[in-house]
Amino acid sequence: MFIVVHHYIINKKKSWYNLRGLEVEKFIQELDMLQRKYKVVDLKTLAANKKAINSYDFCSVTFDDGLRDHYDIAGKLISRNIIGTFFPSACIFEGCVPTVIKMHIILSKIKTEEIIEKLEKYLQNQHLDKFIPIPRDEKITNLRPLDDVPTANLKATMQKLSEEMKNNFVDKIFKKIVPNENKFCADFFMSPNQLRELHQQGMVIGSHSYSHTALNTMDYVAQKKELIKSKSIIEDIIKAKINSISFPFGGYDQNTISIAKKLGFKYGVVFNHKTIKKTDNDLCLSNLDCNDKLPL
């Protein structure tokens, strides 16, 4: 039993940036293979069958970030009677690009080593007492198996920075690549009308927080504000309640779970490159990336 999460689904003819993702043709092949070997169901059905004897027969497909690519491929799901779950970061509906997406765009245009050098210089200029150069030869994290060493360490270092420092560094570079953030947002992500259309077509809509910040880096009050804002924006768009959430970066803590329950969330997805165990809490369901080796 497993959940397959998708981020960038690439149409080479329309792709503006050199982003790492799953090509549309391979996505279609993935769906075909999943349907041949498994019962592809929604998250509610998946969770209800965690302890079933034949639980290994079930899987779900989900989509993080609210990308326009996800809207474009939804017809592939509908034609196969597959119910996908879509988790947009709500800030995109207010013209804001999540910092992590900005970083992906930067990485698609500038060499990793050059970005690392810029970041090291930036950190030194902040007069940090414990500045340590970013390693290039060995990974400092096991959470990014799909990235090469420099890229994994760059992302890990970025995630440790305060939101203010991280945003200041990323925004300065991003603006040189993308002068008009609002226009980029309108082109790169799905619109409120498109999200509403997915809901009306039977897809499940959930939350990926408001700003795509790792929730376990926030205190209780900040987490609550983040989830309430996200839930409110998305529910206002689709005119329906939502009860599922995908935690950005797989980051959560006991505060996250407590807040999520109080706000009416029943299903939570954790990005950790693992299959689901029968003992998994419904608010802490493991998932695999579509670029991982799937149990096909």
With cut-offs at 50, 70 and 90, classify the pLDDT of residue 125: confident
Q: Averaged over 11-16, what is the pLDDT?
A: 67
Residue 180, phi then psi, degrees to nearest 5: -115, 95
Residue 9: CB atoms within 10 A of its CB come to 19
With cut-offs at 50, 70 and 90, classify the pLDDT of residue 128: low
**Residue 166 near residue 158 (C-beta atoms within 8 A):** yes
* Cα–Cα distance list, 52 to 38, 46, 47, 279, 280 (Å): 14, 10, 10, 12, 13
CA 133/CA 121 separation, integer angstroms: 10
**Taking the alpha carbons of 142, 144, 149, 151 in that order, is the dihedral positive or negative?**
negative
Nearest to 18 by CA among 177, 162, 150, 134: 177
Residue entry with tokens 């079933």: 52
Q: Averaged over 259-270, what is the pLDDT?
A: 97
Q: Averaged over 65-89, what is the pLDDT?
A: 96
CA 272/CA 270 separation, integer angstroms: 6
Residue 77 has pLDDT above 90, yes or no: yes
- pTM attached to this predicted model: 0.92
- Write the class of the CATH domain 2-95+189-289: alpha beta
